[in-house]
Structure 1
Amino acid sequence: MSVDVRKIVTGVEDIWHDGGPPLADPLRRGWIACVIANPFAGRYEPDIERFMDDLKPMGLECSRRLVAAIGGDVGRVEAYGKGALVGVDGEIEHGALWHVPGGYAMRELLGQALAIVPSTAKLGAMGAGIDIPIHHKDACYVRSHFDAITVTVADAPRPDEMMFVLVMATGGRPHARVGGLQASEISKWDGQR
């Protein structure tokens, strides 16, 4: 089964402060959304897992484009997340197809990326927003990096489409000060602490 891509959209934001003192180096967060035809829209298909293999090249391509969009240096990426917004003729399980192709593509490209990639999926109408969770790429309990970014593409997904999203960030929340494990304290290298 081939992947019918209608469009790829990227967004990048630089954050100098969030109400506190200006950061010495702005936080850069970026996202990429790939809008594709949903080959399972409008019907129940018992065997959808095979489509994940078809999505793997798209996951790598989107990961490469996203790294380039946020500056091109994989060494600066500290956090990530992923998600899927499925058009209303699909089902939530179709969004789960993105877990392996999206998550493993980012982890492969970033090298040491030990933490599970946080994820969300939902059904939505064209223009709906989806909040993509973000956390540290090497230890999911680094509290300063718990965050989310809202992604919206005005004309997607159409009822028979899916929008697969990847997110990367160069740091945690600006002015994080609520304690917990710090990035500099990662010691177990088990993806958690």
Structure 2
Amino acid sequence: MPEVRIRKTLVQVETIFHEGGPAPEVPQKRAAAMAVIENPYAGGYTDDIQPFMKDLEPLGAEMAQMCIDALGGDAEAVEGYGKGAIVGVNGEIEHGALWHVPGGYAMRDAIAASKAIVPSTKKVGAAGTRLDVPVTHTNASYVRTHYDAVEVGVPDAPRPNEIVLVLVMTTAGRVHARIGGLTKDKVKGEDGLR
């Protein structure tokens, strides 16, 4: 199995105090951890790429902790999550899909209430490509207040033979969420949906 070669990591943190209306009692925080890695499959087609997912597991755990630390260190404060990947132009979209299992399970293992599927996105792009990473509630995908996205990107990545791996966590739903539906205080936490 290929070794995971990391060029750099980045952490992005947003603190949202208001969105033009009344300020919430507690500001919403959103953190993204990014790792720029070498793509071991760039430049050609490899039939069996699945083993690399296992190699990415330690990095997933490290990045999940980076997000938690950036949000203040309290894993119980995490209410939303998402993941994504930007594959350099010598790779293929499927190389970004390798992040589904190690990235998603790393976040689910790091926080308490995490029955909901971790939403994801990926794309192939050049250095500086931006990615909107979808976010949903960690324990119930139908909680509309937490439908959101966090935009990420790295100015000099991905280079053609790299992948940018991304994990996102948030401490709350949208600041002025008011479109109805299931609210976080009504979550049953049984099936990841409601």
Structure 2 counterpart SS, 1:155: coil
Structure 2 equivalent of residue 110 of structure 1: 111
Shift of 1:22: 1.1
SS where residue 111 of structure 1 aligns?
Answer: coil
In the TM superposition, what whole-angstrom CA distance separates every residue of 1:112-161 from its partner, at most 9, and x where no partner exists? Answer: 20000000010011001000000000000000000001001101100100
Is there any run of 5+ residues in structure 1 with no aligned partner, and where? none
Percent identical among aligned pairs is 54
Aligned partner of 1:134 in structure 2 is 135
- The TM-score normalised by the length of structure 2 is 0.98
Letter in 2 for 1:140: S
2:161 is aligned with 1:160:
yes
Aligned to 2:47: 46
1:66-123 deviation digits (Å, cap 9, x = unpaired) = 1101100001000000000000000000000000000000000102200000000100
- Residue 179 of structure 2 aligns to which amino acid in structure 1? V
- Aligned match of 2:151: 150
The SS at the match of 2:97 is helix
Aligned to 2:24: 23
Q: Which runs of 5+ in 2 are unaligned?
A: none
RMSD: 0.7
Matched, 1:5 2:2: no
Q: In structure 2, do the counterparts of structure 1 residues 188 and 4 end up closer, same or farther at CA, with 3 Å as the change threshold? A: closer
Count of aligned pairs between the two proteins? 193
Q: Tell whether 2:87 aligns with 1:86.
A: yes
Structure 1 stretches of at least 4 aligned residues deviating more than 6 Å after TM superposition: none
SS in 2 for 1:58: helix
Paired position in structure 1 for 2:67: 66
Q: What amino acid maps onto 1:110 in structure 2?
A: I
Report the TM-score, using the length of structure 1 for normalisation: 0.99
Q: Which residue in 1 is equivalent to 2:122?
A: 121
The 2-side partners of 1:180 and 1:112 are apart by 20
Name the amino acid aligned to 2:11: T
Once residues 153 and 60 of structure 2 are traced to their aligned partners in structure 1, the CA distance between those partners, rounded to angstroms, is 19
